Amino acid sequence: MTKQPVYFFGHGSPMIGIEENSFTHILIEIGKSFIENPKAIMMISAHWLTRGTFAATTPNPETIHDFGGFPEELYRIKYPAPGSPEFAREVINLVPDILENDKRGLDHGCWTILNHIFPNADIPVFQLSIDYYKPMQYHFDLAKKLKPMRGKGLLIIGSGNIVHNLNQWFNRNNDNPYSWALEFDEWVKGKIIGRDFQSLIDYEKQGDAARMSVPTVDHFVPLIYCLGLADESDGIEFVYEGVESSLSMRSLRIG
């Protein structure tokens, strides 16, 4: 099996699950680009936060609509992909720190993305949780231990946002990006190009722009996992770029 790439996507609003725009068109094209489909998909979403790290062994994960105030059409969306208890347990066996959860479904950080990439929902999917109480270095180091899974046909996708400040989003009546959001997004881009991942782990040292762009770590951690999964020989390509108000949709492919 060819070694699978790693993707990080900015997932933005849950509305991307049903929208047609330049971002969702990119997702569709990515899905078409697979010559050989992955055997399974592991999603690391900003919306499964736990104490301890868990892999979901749910055989038939439900579609979780973990949001409110959106059109009824969005709540009718189901993503009925099977789970992958086998691959989830391989992950658990590979990294003993990872625990098992046999009930977790697919949250909107997962299915809104996959609904465009693999609309047939015929590839097994499971999620890996984010231990909210661990530092960035922990997540990077854990990701490095998961690298062997890429060679077994497992596609790993991180879903969050490099810049994600909802308070500032609701305080603005247009999509013009904040200067600090542009500054931080460009800084992250430069560090990724230069493969200076340690600076990204220590992003808080970037002062006000970092503080405003990452007021909570949940949406930033999936990026750190993806970078930890990168081999030195892997190329890194930005598949989408754009900052709207206080939200960065920058997305990338590794490998």
pLDDT (tens digit, 9 = 90+) per residue, 157-197? 999 999 999 989 888 777 899 999 999 999 999 999 999 99
- CATH no. for residue 241? 3.40.830.10
pLDDT for 169 equals 84
Look at residue 71 and tell me if it is in a domain: yes
Query: What is the amino acid identity at position 150?
Result: R
Query: Residue 122 burial (CB < 10 Å; 0-12/13-18/19+)?
Result: exposed
pLDDT for 147 equals 98
Per the structure, how many domains does the chain have?
1
228 phi and psi angles, rounded to 5 deg = -65, -25
Query: Can you read off the two tokens belonging to residue 209?
Result: 């722009």
Query: Can you read off the two tokens belonging to residue 196?
Result: 């200076």
Query: Residue 18 burial (CB < 10 Å; 0-12/13-18/19+)?
Result: middle
Look at residue 1 and tell me if it is in a domain: no
* Range in 64-78, 118-132, 160-174, 228-242 the model is least confident about: 160-174
Look at residue 51 and tell me if it is in a domain: yes
Look at residue 197 and tell me if it is in a domain: yes
pLDDT for 82 equals 98
pLDDT in tens, 202-232: 999 999 999 999 999 999 999 999 999 999 9
Q: Which of 52, 53, 80 is nearest to 64 (CA)?
A: 80
Query: Can you read off the two tokens belonging to residue 57?
Result: 């062994």
Look at residue 203 and tell me if it is in a domain: yes
Looking from the CA of 124 toward its CB, the CA atoms found within 13 Å total: 15
pLDDT for 194 equals 98
Look at residue 241 and tell me if it is in a domain: yes
Q: What's CA 214's distance to the chain center, in Å?
A: 15
pLDDT in tens, 7-23: 999 998 899 999 999 99
Look at residue 32 and tell me if it is in a domain: yes
Domain hosting residue 60, numbered range: 6-254
Look at residue 171 and tell me if it is in a domain: yes
